[in-house]
Amino acid sequence: MSNFPTITYIYDRYKKSSPSKEAIIEMRITYNKRQKYMSTGIKVLPRQWRKGRVVNRPDALQCNQLLDKLLADVRQVILDMVNHQTLDIFRIPEELQRLRRGKISFIDFCRQRAEVRKYGKTKDSQERYNRFMRYFLIWGKIQSFEEITEKNIIAYDRYLQKKGMKTYSKWNNYHRFLNSFILDAVREGLMQRNPYNWVNIEKDKTSKGIEKCLSPQEFTRLKNTPMPTKCLERIRDLFVFQTYTCLSYTDLRAFVASKITKIDGMDVYIGKRQKTSKTFTIPLLKEALDILYIYNKVLPVISNVKYNEYLKVVAQAAGIDKPISSHWARHTGATLLLNEGIDIKIVAKICGHSSTRITEQIYAKLLDETVVDAIKTSHLHRQEEPKV
């Protein structure tokens, strides 16, 4: 058909990918010298896209099936529009939404997207998707796309509140996942609007670091308490090393001693964050080096799930009644540095943050003693007796 639009899959249209950074696959529809781009919702690395197909991924078959399904549906929509003499490539997302709504429920859509999103994630991250799906299915008030309304988002929030969840956990572990699936549905043309844009769900992001760190006294106790088994001793040493380096679990797992270099006579580890690709620079303190040499420069890293399980036992052995996890080490280390008077720009560089604003939001908790010491040493402080 001469007047039929051409359809092509385009990868990384804005040239933002890198060997370690994924980019989006888009569908490009061209007709009468005009173009319409539609996101597929699938992101891959450059080596995972070859000749219009997803390759070198465990879920490549599923991804390619999704691409084939989108292509078939778009062709059907275009054919219907041509037959009705209403062809307008800019209305294709709207018509695709109508076509697909009768074919898939929102719940099934979430299941499909969860499987794609879990690819390449740690077991801990994969379990967070599974946990969201379990809670969302038990609640059960949203099954279809028509039921995604402001009223039901508020009802979901109240359901999570009744479960006793704190504000940060409520958003980070439940609302955030639902919002991401809705955004995927909007991009794929299954929905026109996201009700989260009109509902104010408190995120409380600033509490994340404050609530999840050990005090200096608790950290010292954990560091010095003899552990009942060699296994727990290795877990404790790993946590102490992680605290002194402020490494996330993913970066801890990627740690290799060969990257240690000397700068002004000090051992320094320079790397890139697996999460953001931001460069970090970590001067290795004696305590961290001591642990590294105990294990012949090869850290005894285990899976994040097991690591977190054992850390609860380590905390109990040290008499600390807190549910510590691997990320507590990063929070604790950054907070200790700030309270030792290290400039926040330096802490941001050690943590691999893109700006000090992130460091301030997450880690800038000053202990009472730090505040008092700062005032005592400032020119504002006077030790004169008050005048009567």
Co-location of 325 and 256 in the same domain: yes
Domain assignment of residue 301, yes or no: yes
pLDDT at 377: 47
Domain assignment of residue 363, yes or no: yes
Co-location of 174 and 126 in the same domain: yes
Between 277 and 152, the higher pLDDT residue:
152
Domain assignment of residue 121, yes or no: yes
pLDDT digits (tens, 9 = 90+) for 144-195: 888 999 999 999 999 998 988 888 778 888 999 999 999 888 877 678 789 9
pLDDT digits (tens, 9 = 90+) for 192-223: 789 998 888 887 654 444 457 788 888 899 99
Co-location of 116 and 188 in the same domain: yes
pLDDT at 350: 62
Co-location of 63 and 192 in the same domain: no
Co-location of 167 and 305 in the same domain: no
Co-location of 346 and 364 in the same domain: yes
Domain assignment of residue 385, yes or no: no
Domain assignment of residue 387, yes or no: no
Angle in degrees, CA 278, 250, 246, rounded to 5:
70
pLDDT at 343: 62
Co-location of 336 and 197 in the same domain: no
Which of 61-65, 252-256, 296-300, 356-360 comes out lowest in average pLDDT? 356-360
End position of a domain, from candidates 202, 226, 249: 202
pLDDT mean across residues, the chain: 81
Confidence of residue 378 (pLDDT cuts 50, 70, 90): very low
pLDDT digits (tens, 9 = 90+) for 45-88: 999 999 999 999 888 898 999 999 899 999 989 998 888 888 89
Co-location of 225 and 178 in the same domain: no
End position of a domain, from candidates 49, 82, 103: 103
> Mean pLDDT throughout 338-353?
63
Listed ranges 11-15, 102-106, 116-120, 249-253; the one with the highest mean pLDDT: 11-15
Residue 360 has pLDDT above 60, yes or no: no
Residue 308 has pLDDT above 80, yes or no: yes
With a pLDDT cut of 70, the percent of the chain lying above it is 81
> Mean pLDDT throughout 275-298?
84
pLDDT at 276: 65
Co-location of 258 and 355 in the same domain: yes
Domain assignment of residue 380, yes or no: no
Domain count, the chain: 3
Co-location of 118 and 224 in the same domain: no
Report the CATH number that the domain containing residue 367 is assigned in CATH.
1.10.443.10
- Domain of 316 in residue numbering reads as 211-374
Report the CATH number that the domain containing residue 182 is assigned in CATH.
1.10.150
> Mean pLDDT throughout 239-259?
88
End position of a domain, from candidates 202, 219, 238: 202
Co-location of 99 and 136 in the same domain: no
Co-location of 192 and 73 in the same domain: no
